[in-house]
A and B are shown apart, each in its own frame.
Chain A
Amino acid sequence: MCIRDSLAIRVGTRVEFPNLDDTFHNIFSYSPAKRFDLGRYRPDEKPVPVQTFDTPGLVTLRCDIHEHMRGLVLVLPTPHFVLTAADGRYRLTGLPPGRYTLKVWLDSRTTLSRPVDLAADSALSVDFP
């Protein structure tokens, strides 16, 4: 199994944690947004452990057995989000017109934000330094 570096989800999403490796893993999180401990489980164990993330916030995933493993789950209170490409480009589509706050989450300590007005059938180009 590989904990993907980062995962952005909407509040209330159920996330499955299948073990794709040959070894045991023990996924847990001490993050305030979601504390859980899946315990040790093998790749062939059924059912696949599932967690529902009900509280928005950053959830750090760790493996109790493999101390180098770390993953992030960003639980968001909005359906409008997208992961940038490796070079930082992004395209967020399907938003109704209105006033929004555009936030960019860089890491657990750094979040940039900017208010935007989105008109109907229009596109905005917002760059963060």
Chain B
Amino acid sequence: MSKPEPQSSRSEPPAYTPTHALTSENPKSKIQNRKSLTYRTRLLLAFMLVVSAVTAGGLVLAERNLAAAFSRELERTFAAELGAQRRVQELRQAALAERCRALVRKPRIHAALEDGALDLLYPSAVDELRDIMAPTDSAAPGGLRAEFYRFLDRHGAVIAPPASFAAGALAPVETRQLGLPRAPDSPQLGFIVRAASGAPVSEIITTPIVSGESGEVIAALVLGFKPFSTAAPDPGRSLWLGGRLYFGDHSRAGDIARALSAPPTPGVGASLALDGVPHLLFQQPLNPGSLYPPAAEVNVYPLTAFLDRQRLLRWRILGAGGLLLLGGFAFSRILVNRLSRPVEKLAVDSAAHLAGRVRAEAALESTHEELQRAARFSADASHQLKTPVTVLRAGLEELLAHDRLVPAERESLAALVHQTYRLSGVIEDLLLLSRLDAGRLRLDLVPVDLAALIAASVDDLSALPDASGLTVETDLPSTLVISAERRFAALILQNLLENARKYNRPAGRLRLAVRTTADGVELTVGNTGRAIPAAAQARIFERFHRGAVGENVPGYGLGLNLARELARLHGGDLRLVRSADDWTEFAVTFRPA
């Protein structure tokens, strides 16, 4: 009987249900998650920001310190280098100057110059300068050995040596560089560009020769030396003269010369990129204040080693910073987890509460809407019913007015008319209830004398035909003023009295009592008769509920409900006090005026 295919198709709906449940449940949990995640993420981000800022600040400081330290080290290194070079230079200059001073005191040189024997000047000097002149066949490194010598006359012009004389060969262009405007008063240091092969520049020391007789400068001795040791050439060291560089690395000479100032000033100069490698330039004037053109020693230091070390240190610092950052992040993470747990729990709880509230509000909303709809329906229905009932009653009363009616017909018609009145009462009550339910009933509260109201109601009651056998007892003060709208207070009273009368036994008793309590004014209405069963007592205030006892008793089950609603609207209440042993008693409270 069962086929596989329908079975499989039938199995789909159960599979759908959990899917539905999931989709209906998920958004809420997602929202909760997102909220708590957002809080945690925000906290973590804040921590990370702080950690990052602190680390970055530390790195910047460290970097600045590093740069400053390197700058200081660089300056120290070069200052030491400069100082050492200057000291070597000074020592050499002093030694040379001393030798020159010794030479210019030589008697034969003085004799040749002062005693009119210039022809003997160079021949005599040969002997005198033999020690200081370098052997021609030797390339001995030696800063203190002279390459050549010449004498200047008192006018600073070069006294030419005899032809082929061994005073060191000089080309005319070289010789011209030795001359001065006059024989100097003090030793002069200078540099000349050599045209011949060998060292490109020679250092010259020109020492004045002072007459022993007159004390005047009568001539000068020029001695030429190799500028500094060329035995171990240093590519970074060169000599600046007349805008050109000599010695050192020739391929860079142009770049370096352009970066230098002219005339040269002492100290560290600009840094310079050579072949993409940064170099530091510094220069040391060699002959400040000399009558000869200025010259300077130029040192070019590649900063590669420095920069490498700096880079290494920087990387180390960055690495340390990175580790610090990671550590900080990890710590932040732990801290944030700890901090956010209670907050998240709070968030989840509050979200759950919120969800519950939303559900409750939604339910309330729908209930309210249903209530409104029902109230509107009752109101509409009541209005629609009022007119036909009135028309019906008018028609029946017209029929009743006919003379031809037999008594049985007249009785039936009278009963029908009576039923239209009941119907009108039901409609009126329904209309009032619907207004109550819709919250559209506004009370116009005034001081009302409850005692007078009760007296009037009791009078009305006694006028009814079936109330003749009842004994009505009252326990009332002379006046008791409550805050109420008179017609509604009367309606409450009327409903209670009517019930007391309807459910009474023949020749029964009805008792009305009023007393002032802490809550206000309480009116009790009691009557004899069969008690309301205990099971039904809880439901007697429901609409259209009628006690099982009264199936043969007129009524439509709206009275108690309406009375209670009205009593509550007045700020009071209506309750069943007791119903047992032939006595049923209700109590209604009002607010005093």
**Which A residues are in CB contact (< 8 Å) with B124?**
30
What does the 1/0 interface line of B187-216 toward A look like (CB < 8 Å)? 000000000000000000000000011000
**Cβ of A84 under 8 Å from chain B:** no
Q: A62-B107, A64-B107 are in contact. List 20 more A-B contacts (CB 8 A).
A: A28-B107, A29-B115, A30-B117, A30-B120, A30-B124, A31-B115, A31-B117, A32-B115, A32-B117, A35-B120, A60-B115, A62-B110, A63-B107, A66-B107, A67-B105, A67-B110, A68-B212, A69-B107, A70-B212, A70-B213
| Residue of B115, B116, B120, B213 contacting most chain A CB atoms (<10 Å) | B115
Task: Assess whether A67 is in contact with B107, with CB atoms less than 8 Å apart.
Answer: yes
**Which A residues are in CB contact (< 8 Å) with B461?**
none
Q: Give residues of chain A (48-102) contacting chain B, Cβ–Cβ below 8 Å.
A: 60, 62-64, 66-70
| Residue of A30, A60, A68 contacting most chain B CB atoms (<10 Å) | A30
CB proximity of A56 to chain B, nearest CB, Å: 15
Q: Which chain B residue lies CB-closest to A31?
A: B115
| Docked pose: A67 CA to B211 CA in angstroms | 12
| Docked pose: A29 CA to B105 CA in angstroms | 16
CB proximity of A14 to chain B, nearest CB, Å: 21
Per a CB cutoff under 8 Å, which of A28, A31, A67, A69 touches B116?
A31
| Docked pose: A70 CA to B116 CA in angstroms | 15
Per a CB cutoff under 8 Å, which of A28, A107, A108 touches B108?
A28
| Docked pose: A31 CA to B111 CA in angstroms | 8
Q: Which chain B residue lies CB-closest to A62?
A: B107
Q: Which chain A residue lies CB-closest to B114?
A: A60
| Docked pose: A122 CA to B574 CA in angstroms | 188
**Cβ of B112 under 8 Å from chain A:** yes
**Which A residues are in CB contact (< 8 Å) with B111?**
28-30, 60, 62
| Docked pose: A32 CA to B114 CA in angstroms | 11
Chain B residues with a Cβ under 8 A of chain A: 105-108, 110-112, 114-117, 120, 124, 212-213
**Which B residues are in CB contact (< 8 Å) with A28?**
107-108, 111
Per a CB cutoff under 8 Å, which of B112, B117, B213 touches A108?
B213
**Which A residues are in CB contact (< 8 Å) with B110?**
62, 67
**Which B residues are in CB contact (< 8 Å) with A29?**
111, 115
Task: Assess whether A67 is in contact with B106, with CB atoms less than 8 Å apart.
Answer: yes
| Docked pose: A64 CA to B585 CA in angstroms | 165
| Docked pose: A12 CA to B114 CA in angstroms | 24
| Docked pose: A121 CA to B509 CA in angstroms | 211
**Which A residues are in CB contact (< 8 Å) with B112?**
30
CB proximity of B29 to chain A, nearest CB, Å: 115
**Which B residues are in CB contact (< 8 Å) with A107?**
213
CB proximity of A95 to chain B, nearest CB, Å: 31
| Docked pose: A32 CA to B119 CA in angstroms | 11
**Which B residues are in CB contact (< 8 Å) with A67?**
105-107, 110, 212
Q: Give residues of chain A (16-63) contacting chain B, Cβ–Cβ below 8 Å.
A: 28-32, 35, 60, 62-63
**Which A residues are in CB contact (< 8 Å) with B213?**
70, 107-108
Q: Which chain A residue lies CB-closest to B213?
A: A108
| Docked pose: A60 CA to B108 CA in angstroms | 11
CB proximity of B103 to chain A, nearest CB, Å: 11
| Docked pose: A111 CA to B107 CA in angstroms | 25
Instruction: Knowing A30-B112, A68-B212, A70-B212, say if A35 contacts B117 (CB, 8 Å).
Output: yes
Instruction: Knowing A30-B120, A108-B213, say if A64 contacts B108 (CB, 8 Å).
Output: yes
**Which B residues are in CB contact (< 8 Å) with A64?**
107-108
**Which A residues are in CB contact (< 8 Å) with B106?**
67
- Identify 30 residue pairs between A and B in the complex whose beta-carbon atoms are under 8 Å apart, listed by A's number: A29-B111, A30-B108, A30-B115, A30-B116, A30-B117, A30-B120, A31-B115, A31-B117, A32-B116, A35-B117, A35-B120, A60-B114, A60-B115, A62-B108, A62-B110, A63-B107, A64-B107, A64-B108, A66-B107, A67-B105, A67-B106, A67-B107, A67-B110, A67-B212, A68-B212, A69-B107, A70-B212, A70-B213, A107-B213, A108-B213
